[in-house]
Copies of this chain bind each other. A is one copy, B any other.
């Protein structure tokens, strides 16, 4: 096996781990199962990762990296977000990211639910997105010659609990919702957008 395959192997382990973690939770996952599913010897996993924890850490690191990339692309692509329906593009980027990464996001949320936890990835991710979002807002206010609200705390809370929370819930329950209510992915996404527009976005626009 050459280095090419080596990279591919490590990636396969990560990919399988992500799926299994999201299926049964981190604590519920077995290294044995990861090995089996990834068709590698169990010991090989320990050749690439120091421990089961390190697999999760790597996965979380990648998630944060990907979020950053996504946000950077957003910044570049959307000079005037929040002006009317042109927020839709940003929303699509977000919802696409959330949908694609929902498996590992679910794991992150589940882990963050444990009280005994270090600074959770979800908080980190939240901060990242919220700050980007607030920066967006600031630009827009400035562009419109408006006075930007002074209470940052208030703003953070609003962004986190009414702006981000729906997306987290989307990651968590998209699949269950589609199953339970027999809705197509497109319909759910569209209606979710309408709801988000009527609530959180409404508070921003104008």
A residues near B (Cβ < 8 Å) are 22-28, 103, 106-107, 109-116, 119-120, 122-123, 153-154, 156-158, 160-162, 164-166, 168-170, 172-173, 175-177, 180-181, 183, 187-188, 191-192, 194-196, 198-200, 202-203
- Among candidates B116, B120, B123, B181, residue contacting A23 with C-beta atoms closer than 8 Å: B116
Main secondary structure of the interface of A (DSSP, over half): helix
Q: Which residues of B contact A120 (CB under 8 A)?
A: 176
- B residues near A172, Cβ cutoff 8 Å: 109, 112-113, 122
Q: Which of B22, B27, B166 contacts A165 (CB 8 A)?
A: B166
Residue picked from A113, A153, A192, most chain B C-beta under 10 Å: A113
Closest Cβ neighbor of A109 among chain B residues: B113
Could you say which residues of chain B place their CB within 8 Å of the CB of A162?
162, 166, 195-196, 198-200
CB distance from A79 to the nearest CB of B (A): 25
Q: Is the CB of B25 within 8 A of A110?
A: yes
- Which 10 A-B residue pairings sit nearest by Cβ, starting from the closest? A27-B27, A158-B195, A165-B169, A110-B113, A110-B110, A165-B165, A106-B113, A162-B199, A199-B199, A198-B203
Residues of B within 8 A of A123 (CB): 173, 176, 180
Given A110-B110, A165-B166, A168-B165, also A192-B157 (CB < 8 A) = yes
Q: List 22 A-B contacts (CB under 8 A).
A: A24-B115, A25-B110, A25-B113, A26-B27, A27-B27, A106-B115, A110-B113, A110-B114, A122-B173, A123-B176, A123-B180, A153-B191, A158-B199, A162-B166, A162-B195, A162-B198, A162-B199, A164-B169, A166-B166, A198-B203, A199-B200, A202-B203
Contact of B192 with A161 in the complex, beta carbons under 8 Å: yes
A157 near B24: Cβ-Cβ < 8 Å: no
Residues of chain B contacted by A191 (CB below 8 angstroms): 153-154, 157-158
